[in-house]
Amino acid sequence: MSSSSLCDSHHIWSLKRLTGLNISAYFAPQDNNKLLSNLQTLFVYAKYSRLLSPSQASMSRALSQPFNGHCACKTITYTLLAPPLITHCCHCTYCQRESGSAFGLNSVVEIYNFRITSSAKPTVTGVSSLSSPSGDKHLIAHCPKCLTVLYAHYGANRSLMFVKVGSLDDESREMVRPDVHIFTSTKMEWVNLGTEEERGVKVFEEYYPREEVWSQESLKRRERLLEWLEEKKRGEEDVGPKED
């Protein structure tokens, strides 16, 4: 892509229309390299802009930046290499108890889009008393020093990380909004979701049908995750069972 085609007024108009961003802010004539990289980022975003969930759309300015997080004592730091697939605000009684609050707020990402960036690793505990109906233990990852919970795997699915939104850095946390409110049949009475519904966020008394709620982009990413899992499984079968 050449810079002259990028600066074509039709492209600029399309970008503005697609992204809703005030892209004139990106036109700094004294810095052509920066202009080019900003516009390329915008083009990538524009490709997906109509396919994003409300919270992904609100992150439009940050799609090119990683999302970082840390525990309360900063012993453990982490980064998300992609925006969340979906962010759940869960009002079930389990999330209320686990969080010690009115609801749980979890951003879901594929395991390969999550990295621990500190040299110290979190402690991962299987909690059998919180096992899913299938009997698979929930895995809860917390800082060994301050015990902040950073993420969890719920039930048998270890390929999706449920990252605790409250543990994101301030800047990253500000960009994340719930995409869906679930299990609102047990919602605390004083939690009013009126403004969330105005924002176009879906509210479900129990769980929800994925195709109705996930953005097209997230559904595509899920397909890639399933393919990756299939490939991984085939690789393990080729090697044969490992001896401990």
Secondary structure (3-state) at 93: helix
Q: How far is the CB of 151 from Zn ion (least distance, A)?
A: 13
How many residues bind Zn ion (CB under 5 A)? The answer is: 9
Give the bridge partners for 108, in sequence order: 86, 162
Near Zn ion by CB under 5 A: residue from 41, 75, 118, 131: 75
Q: Is 173 in the site for Zn ion (CB under 5 A)?
A: no
Q: How far is the CB of 113 from Zn ion (least distance, A)?
A: 22
45 vs 78 by CB, closer to Zn ion: 78
Q: How far is the CB of 105 from Zn ion (least distance, A)?
A: 10
Q: Is 191 in the site for Zn ion (CB under 5 A)?
A: no
Give the Cα separation of 103 and 96 in Å (integer).
Answer: 5
Residue 128 tokens read as: 């059998």
Q: How far is the CB of 41 from Zn ion (least distance, A)?
A: 33
Q: Is 86 in the site for Zn ion (CB under 5 A)?
A: no
Q: Is 71 in the site for Zn ion (CB under 5 A)?
A: yes
Near Zn ion by CB under 5 A: residue from 39, 42, 95, 152: 95
Read out DSSP for 140-191?
EEE-TTT--EEEEE-TT--SEEEEEGGGB-HHHHHH---SEEE-GGG--TT-
Which residue do the tokens 């895995």 mark? 139
Q: Is 92 in the site for Zn ion (CB under 5 A)?
A: yes
39 vs 105 by CB, closer to Zn ion: 105
Q: How far is the CB of 78 from Zn ion (least distance, A)?
A: 12
Give the Cα separation of 53 and 170 in Å (integer).
Answer: 21
Q: How far is the CB of 103 from Zn ion (least distance, A)?
A: 8
Q: How far is the CB of 221 from Zn ion (least distance, A)?
A: 22
Near Zn ion by CB under 5 A: residue from 145, 166, 203, 229: 145
57 vs 76 by CB, closer to Zn ion: 76
Q: Which of 216, 202, 118, 209 is nearest to 167 (CA)?
A: 118
Q: Is 146 in the site for Zn ion (CB under 5 A)?
A: yes
Q: Is 141 in the site for Zn ion (CB under 5 A)?
A: no
Near Zn ion by CB under 5 A: residue from 42, 46, 90, 165: 90
Contact positions toward Zn ion, by CB under 5 A? 71, 73, 75, 90, 92, 95, 143, 145-146
